[in-house]
Amino acid sequence: MGPTMKKFATLTVIGRDKTGVVARVTNFLFEQKANIEALEEQVTRGQFSMTLQASWKDRQMDRAAMQAGLARLAASLQMEITLRLTDPRRRQRMAILVTREPHCFEGLMRACRAGEIARAEPALVISNRRDLEPVARQHKLPFVVIPWNERAGAEARLLELLERHEIDFLVLARFMKILSPNVVWRYKNKIINVHPSLLPSFPGAQAYRQAYEHGVKIAGVTAHFVSMHLDAGPIIAQAGFVIRPNSSLKEIVAAGQKLESRVLVKAVKLYLAKRLDVHWGVVKQV
């Protein structure tokens, strides 16, 4: 007879910080015969966020009782609590956010087709424009346009889509919009961005132009986790290139773009291999 099968679930708790939240949630799970596999919590500017992974022995999980009990607990705590059944053996579901530059999106798709990103499944493409819809259709991926005229409404729609499609992590493939803490803390260390500079140099917009105007001799690109602070999240991977004397801005941009998709793919592969540990804002390979 084979080993006992387990059921797994991920709980997310979000709301205003208050005393006793961790104890009440973990005590409820104990009453529901759950084993806590991992727990991570943080408080930022008075906002509490916790992600908890739990498991049950076969047939010990009562999903209806779990949902009802969590709804009551959420109401009592005045917090948002979500439960998602998961299978640690399945491939991670990846959402790709794009605007109009295709090279990083296409690089991710090439890596997926070649089996380089075998542990992830592209599940959804989201954009604030329709420019790259043909590329998404070519790869038979759902493509959703969210107008970004008003960020709060746009992000509410984004979060609803991520939940509906059971997205595990996000990749910003030259997505030219800034995500607020309301999104970032829900996906802590699960949003990967590529920035066209060797961070911490030249954060923000027009990084290649900044490098050109400052006359730097080495430029490059950085893949990093998105944090509450613009272009300041933990660095996953970087690559650089030498700027020749009298290089034009156009030549610098072209050289950088050749590296962007490569570095982004490398960061995704490291993330999926579970070889990254973020400690005090610094990524370490384990």
Please spell the DSSP secondary structure of 101-167, one letter per residue: --HHHHHHHHHHHTTTTTTEEEEEEEESSSTTHHHHHHTT--EEE---SSHHHHHHHHHHHHHHTT-
**101 contact partners, CB below 8 Å, separation of at least 6:** 174, 257
Length of the chain in residues, anyone?
A: 286
Angle, CA 86 vertex, CA 28 and CA 171 arms, to 5°: 115
CA 116 to mean position of chain CA atoms: 19
Whether residue 231 lies in the annotated active site:
yes
Task: Please tell me the distance from the alpha carbon of residue 1 to that of residue 261, in angstroms, as a whole number.
Answer: 47
Helices 63-77, 21-31: crossing angle, 10 deg rounding: 160
CB 100 within 8 A of CB 132: yes
Nearest Cα neighbor of 11 from 45, 34, 43 is 34
Q: Could you say which DSSP state residue 202 is in?
A: S
Closest CA to 174 of 246, 125, 212, 115: 125
The catalytically annotated residue of 58, 87, 131, 231 is 231
Report the catalytic residues. 231
